[in-house]
Amino acid sequence: MGITRRELIAGTAGVVLVSSATRMAHATADPLPSWNEGAAKRAIVEFVRATTDHARPQFVPVAERIATFDQDGTLWVEQPIYSQVIYCLDRVPEVVKAHPELANAEPFKSVLAEGPRALARLPEADLFKLLEVTLTGMSVEEFQAQVQSWLERARDPRWKRRFTELTYQPMQEVLAFMRANGYKTYIVTGGGQDFVRVYAEKTYGIPPEQVAGSIGGTSYGYDKNGRPTLTKDPKLLLNDDHAGKPEGIHLMIGRRPRAAFGNSVGDQQMLEYTRAGDGARLAMLLLHDDAEREYAYGPAQGLRDSKVGTFPQALYDRAVAQGWPVISMKQDWRRIFSW
């Protein structure tokens, strides 16, 4: 037992510091400081406490602690246009530079002339052409470098910030709080899995293997130096939206989530699927009702139809009827961003 006096003292000091830190944490720490007190915050805190306390019937073993989060409109701003669509539009000049024959072909001609304004009147087939040319045909590494470079350069027009700065601070706290309690946090997004993976780790603390998104195929082959490489194909394996969300969750995770957060009709099936499991389950809808600090849309504007990035009154009514706690951005969030 050759422990030295120095080790003994160091060890004892460690015990004192840990004890004291723990006691202080229990006494004072609020895991969700950007949230106002209310039903939404209580629902989250109570769910985590109940599912992590061995003594309670709602206890969930660590291996089963899976929480899924929609991204656009749930973890970061989705208005007025999804960031990934802006990325595709912004890529057009470089694509045309590499393929000058596209300069006079649609949709590239319109996008070059008008920028994002061209988007509203693009036929769906042209939109797919835009996605195909900007998101596929390159190696996985080239794509990652292109997205990374854009993220450093691009700014949101309203706040003049990087897109990765437009994450909601209250949701970042939920992610951190759940992880601190043994939950694996996943992004489950209609956006491209490879796109979101480029920044998810740095932006949300979520590693690439915990990003479930719309999945494009890749093809394995060899580059001109004979080096093995994966090329992004224009083949959609999974559209991770609506019914595709539970399907993508099964594909990527293989377990039903214990908690899920969303904000639009595209999240309805994920929330239903989550709630339909036995034991403790949490499904929450974020309502965008804060035109001043962010945007107001969906039921907050009285919209009754589904459109990109919104949820209709019917989904809101369903949430209320099924007891899914609704998060009001205006009422429940003390702040929107970290800055």
- Rule CB under 8 A: which residues touch a copy of itself? 1, 3, 7-8, 11-12, 14-16, 19-20, 63, 66, 140, 184, 193-194, 197, 201, 207-209, 211, 215, 217-221, 227-228, 230, 237-238, 243-244, 246-247, 250-255, 269, 272-273, 276
How many CB atoms neighbour CB 215 within 10 A?
Answer: 19
CB of 237 to a copy of itself, least distance (A): 5
- Read off the amino acid at residue 77: V
**Token pair belonging to 334:** 């003390």
Nearer to a copy of itself, 281 or 288 (CB): 281
CB of 156 to a copy of itself, least distance (A): 26
Mutual orientation of helices 268-275 and 313-322 as an angle, nearest 10°?
A: 10
CB of 195 to a copy of itself, least distance (A): 11
CB of 57 to a copy of itself, least distance (A): 22
CB of 63 to a copy of itself, least distance (A): 6
Task: Give the separation between CA 53 and CA 232, rounded to whole angstroms.
Answer: 44
**Token pair belonging to 4:** 């030295």
In whole angstroms, how far apart are CA 263 and each of 5, 177, 315? 58, 20, 10
CB of 54 to a copy of itself, least distance (A): 20
Nearer to a copy of itself, 33 or 221 (CB): 221
CB of 327 to a copy of itself, least distance (A): 22
Nearer to a copy of itself, 91 or 184 (CB): 184
Nearer to a copy of itself, 170 or 246 (CB): 246
Nearer to a copy of itself, 112 or 251 (CB): 251
Task: Work out the angle at residue 157's Cα, subtended by the Cα atoms of residues 284 and 140, and round it to the nearest 5 degrees.
Answer: 70
Task: Give the separation between CA 335 and CA 319, rounded to whole angstroms.
Answer: 24
Task: Give the separation between CA 44 and CA 50, rounded to whole angstroms.
Answer: 10
- Please enumerate in sequence order all residues whose Cβ is within 8 A of that of 187, keeping only pairs 6 or more positions apart, or say none: 68, 69, 70, 71, 75, 196, 200, 204, 206, 210, 211, 212, 213
Task: Give the separation between CA 157 and CA 163, rounded to whole angstroms.
Answer: 10
Contact between residue 48 and residue 284 where contact means Cβ atoms under 8 Å apart: no
CB of 164 to a copy of itself, least distance (A): 18
How many CB atoms neighbour CB 319 within 10 A?
Answer: 21
Nearer to a copy of itself, 187 or 336 (CB): 187
Q: Side by side, which strands form the sheet with 282-287?
A: 228-238, 211-222, 184-192, 66-69, 259-262, 282-287, 326-328
Pick the closest to residue 189 from 208, 209, 210, 211 (CA basis).
211
Task: Give the separation between CA 158 and CA 169, rounded to whole angstroms.
Answer: 18
Nearer to a copy of itself, 13 or 291 (CB): 13
Nearer to a copy of itself, 246 or 298 (CB): 246
Nearer to a copy of itself, 160 or 227 (CB): 227
CB of 158 to a copy of itself, least distance (A): 31
